[in-house]
Structure 1
Amino acid sequence: MRLVGFAAGMCAVLALAGCSDAVDGQPEASGAPPAKEQLFDPCTVPDSVLIAAGADPASKDDNPFSVPRADWKGCGWRAGEFFIDLFSTTNTMDEFRDNRLLHDFQDVAIEDRKGVQYLIGETSPPEECGLAFESSRGTITLQSSRASSSKSTTDPCVVVNNAAPHFIATFPK
């Protein structure tokens, strides 16, 4: 069993997934999001990055949605008492901010990348936290979620912010 808050996080992802239509072909110069085929593939992150971030490469879950999602690609790994999930989506940053399951947005800078941090779901204290970054190959999100078996009191935002510098170099600009 992955985690108690996983359902809320997936609802947030699925709610975003339901907000947009699939886009075929090449992105337009107008800034249209890329098609799913053009999205960054989170499962291509090297094992060395995962290990440096505290994730176990052998725990890879290349189907974190359980069913195919039209506007998303994702991969996840166990990281001690947490899970680290990496997603790319055709959803825009505005759609993230409009999602009622995501809240407490804060601007962040990880290395040379500007993005936003957000909490997922309604649990208190929070069990899931994410970072989102715009890129030429979709919006990329890195999320941490406390495992259901976890006794950790560590804030999931601390986990995702500690992991992010290791992942950031693998994200397309």
Structure 2
Amino acid sequence: MTSFGTLTRAAALAGLLFSSISGVAPVMAAPADVALLKSYIGEWRGRGTLYGANEESVVCRLSLSQGNQDKVNYSGRCAMAGTSLSVAGTMAYVDASRRFEAAMTSNATFTGIAVGQKRGSGLVFNLRERDQDEEGKDLNISAQIQLNGDAIQVVFEVVYVESGDSLRAEVPFSR
């Protein structure tokens, strides 16, 4: 079984905290779409579990704030087993693509772009990336972030391509 190192756990936390964040400029976004995105502005806290070789508790906080034009900026931090991860980025509705987009930068060198879609009264962002860990092993990274009502649910998974070993995190957030 593959041992999940600090960088892998940090990448998992990066994705967990908000792998759905982007520096994309909106173009004449629909007012209802902008309002939906802005309805999540505020302070969020989450506590969940990271499953892998061991089960570990994850504690996160996330702040969403008004950005330039119709953008929403965010910054957050997760802590797990002595490891801390910071992420930041911007979310926006991109009218030309008719979708929400988001990207993220982190202190764990993980970056990602996610596409969001309306589902019912909320938003669902999906991210799929391929990366490498600190030892050069290929990883498939996927995340789903559901923003629904007064809650955010994050599910994040890292799978080692060669061995099939995985790391999965599930964290519900509330205001």
Instruction: Please tell me whether Structure 1 or Structure 2 has the larger radius of gyration of its CA atoms.
Output: 2
What's the TM-score once normalised by structure 2's chain length? Answer: 0.40
* TM norm structure 1: 0.40
* The structure with more helix, counted as a fraction of residues: 1
